Structure 1
Amino acid sequence: MQLHFTTLIFFFFLISQLKFPSALASFDQITNCAKGKRIALFLDYDGTLSPIVDNPDCAFMSDNMRAAVKKVAEYFPTAIISGRSRDKVYEFVGLSELYYAGSHGMDIIGPPRQSNSDNHPDCIRSSDQQVVEVNLFQPAAEFLPMINEVRGLLKECIKDIEGATVENNKFCVSVHYRNVDEESWQIVGQHVYDILKEYPRLRVTHGRKVLEVRPVIDWDKGKAVTFLLESLGLNNCDDVLAIYVGDDRTDEDAFKVLREVNKGCGILVSPAPKESNAIYSLRDPCEVMEFLTSLAVWKSSIQAR
């Protein structure tokens, strides 16, 4: 039985490599496409830069991963696009030179402004905690009171379900049931949907053992990528290669955008094959770190010539 299971896993791995070849094995192909182009890098957080863990408050990235992200950001504009709150992602990553898009791209902030070229007409200028001017974009700001109200209701209704937690992601609310007994999963879901019956301007999406309550607006990670490319002045250029690395269903919107506009490639982070709009794959955060390190080394060697 064990041999049969191992053979099956290997078979599925071969299928995934045919459909979504490894970004490491295809690294030369990717860098050949990147020659003469400006790269913009977009990264999911959970499951991409950090492992998926039982306690979402403990999804720390390693020092080596942080160093890899910091290094690659020296060469390319780099953004973290996550379902988490922007503040929480920044707390985990701690690199001020990056762009951060929290709440699935509904809360975007750029690094401290270096020049007027880093701008977008829909941004508002704000100041961070050090009173450094930054660009801020929040397309769902009007929903914040409603989100806060629903978060309170959700916390109250699941408080007696062991293992269930409610996470404040500012413009989204995440209800985690990873640590809930499987027999109670349906109960968690029923509570969420019952509450949202009174809030037609909010919707539920499904992630990895998590239900996410989000505003009903035409905005997702794909829109966030487009917005950031526009902010960088790269959206209407032919010499751009955008690379998006992510593992979640919500990353598919970004993969799809890059595929449709033929402006880059998506890299799916997954140990097993699954349907995706990505072009390449990486198996886990360790391979993501290796890919980012290789990308920085490649760019450094190009500049040294």
Structure 2
Amino acid sequence: MTRPDDAAALPGAVADAVRAFAAHGADDPDARLVALDFDGTLAPLVDDPLAACMAPAARAAVDRLAAALAGTTTRLALVSGRNLADLAERSEPPVGTYLVGSHGAETGHVTADGLDAVPLELDAEQADRLASLRAGMADAVAGREGAWVQDKPSAAVLHTRLASAADTLAAVADTDAVAGRLGLHAMHGKDVVEVAVVETSKGEAVDRLRDVVGQDCGLPDGRTRVLYAGDDTTDETAFAVLGAGDLGIKVGDGDTLAAQRVADADALAAVLDLLAGLIEQRR
């Protein structure tokens, strides 16, 4: 049953939007996808990415929601810029969760036996460009304290959270220049610039997941309704593909295409608790 405090921490408009997303009508295709960013959304941003973990309220709400979804046609997904293995380790996702890593370049599904990942293979040209990219970005951070580069299977990421303002500007400019020389797109986020040799986005990943969930629920011809929550500029591509019946929730400040906004991971936990309660009530 819905707990009395499930919606207490939420603005009325947000709670109403969650109820509308969860509601079922005669013409409803009856498939749902709850897709959530990780860093800055479920997990507070930290200086060391390897120290990130879900906020306690978010952890409890994700686990409650996953349990409530068992036997339904609603699915849970985590969609992140982190590489897939790192996302799985940091998030400890419940069984049944779909995982999207590297902004959509990597995908997997959490089973009772572990992570079932789709292998990512680069062709020779992509591998050569990735090697050149990593070398160029290593030069971009050389001598700039606090700026560092993270390697991913199909990308390299400049981190500047611990760098001075001057070193950040210089490292970002050099990274953009490297990307430009290689004909690659630089994705700018909060204290990060990611350059990938595989072109993708969270928006493309969410659209693909719609089809996957429909197939998984035996409703290939029905539209899967999506709730997406994220905090960063890279999440705007996901908000951009949402349409009628979907729900976008921006976590934190900043311009957004999302229709609703909550303050932080604890407020998003209240959203997930409300949704879980509504599903529990229907069972």
TM-score (normalizing by structure 2): 0.81
Range with bigger deviation, 155-164 or 276-285: 155-164
Deviation digits for residues 41-81 of structure 1 (CA, Å, limit 9, x no counterpart): 00001110111122222222234422321221231311111
- Give the superposition deviation at 1:112: 3.0
Range with bigger deviation, 72-81 or 149-158: 149-158
Structure 1: tracts of 5 or more residues without a match: 1-21, 114-129
Q: Aligned equivalents of 1:58 and 1:192: distance in 2?
A: 25
Mapped contact 1:81–1:100 kept (Cα < 8 A):
yes
The change in CA–CA distance for 1:105 and 1:216 in structure 2 (over 3 A counts) is closer
> Which residue in the other structure is 1:99 paired with?
98
TM-score (normalizing by structure 1): 0.76
Deviation digits for residues 280-302 of structure 1 (CA, Å, limit 9, x no counterpart): 11111110111111211121012
* Structure 1 residues 77-92: aligned runs within 5 Å: 77-92=75-90
* Structure 1 residues 62-141: aligned runs within 5 Å: 62-74=55-67, 75=69, 76-95=74-93, 96-112=95-111, 134=116, 136=118, 138=120, 141=122
The one-letter code of the counterpart of 1:199 is: L
> Which residue in the other structure is 1:224 paired with?
205
The one-letter code of the counterpart of 2:201 is: D
Q: Aligned equivalents of 2:63 and 2:41: distance in 1?
A: 15
The one-letter code of the counterpart of 2:19 is: T
- Give the superposition deviation at 1:100: 0.8
Q: Aligned equivalents of 1:68 and 1:188: distance in 2?
A: 38
> Which residue in the other structure is 2:228 paired with?
244
The change in CA–CA distance for 1:67 and 1:137 in structure 2 (over 3 A counts) is farther
Q: Aligned equivalents of 2:133 and 2:152: distance in 1?
A: 12
Q: Aligned equivalents of 1:169 and 1:66: distance in 2?
A: 26
Mapped contact 1:144–1:170 kept (Cα < 8 A):
no
Mapped contact 1:23–1:267 kept (Cα < 8 A):
no
Q: Aligned equivalents of 2:153 and 2:11: distance in 1?
A: 33
The change in CA–CA distance for 1:34 and 1:134 in structure 2 (over 3 A counts) is same
Deviation digits for residues 241-287 of structure 1 (CA, Å, limit 9, x no counterpart): 2100001111111111113xx241111111x3x33211111111110
Is the counterpart of residue 179 in structure 1 residue 162 in structure 2?
A: yes
- Give the superposition deviation at 1:165: 1.3
The one-letter code of the counterpart of 2:98 is: Y
The change in CA–CA distance for 1:249 and 1:137 in structure 2 (over 3 A counts) is farther
Task: Could you list the structure 1 runs, at least 4 aligned residues long, displaced by more than 6 angstroms after superposition.
Answer: none
Task: Select 2:22's aligned residue among 30, 34, 40.
Answer: 34
- Give the superposition deviation at 1:135: 5.9
Secondary structure of the residue that 2:110 maps to in structure 1?
coil
The one-letter code of the counterpart of 1:100 is: L
Is the counterpart of residue 280 in structure 1 residue 278 in structure 2?
A: no
Mapped contact 2:225–2:246 kept (Cα < 8 A):
yes
Structure 2: tracts of 5 or more residues without a match: 1-9, 25-29
Is the counterpart of residue 44 in structure 1 residue 37 in structure 2?
A: yes
Identity percentage over the alignment?
27
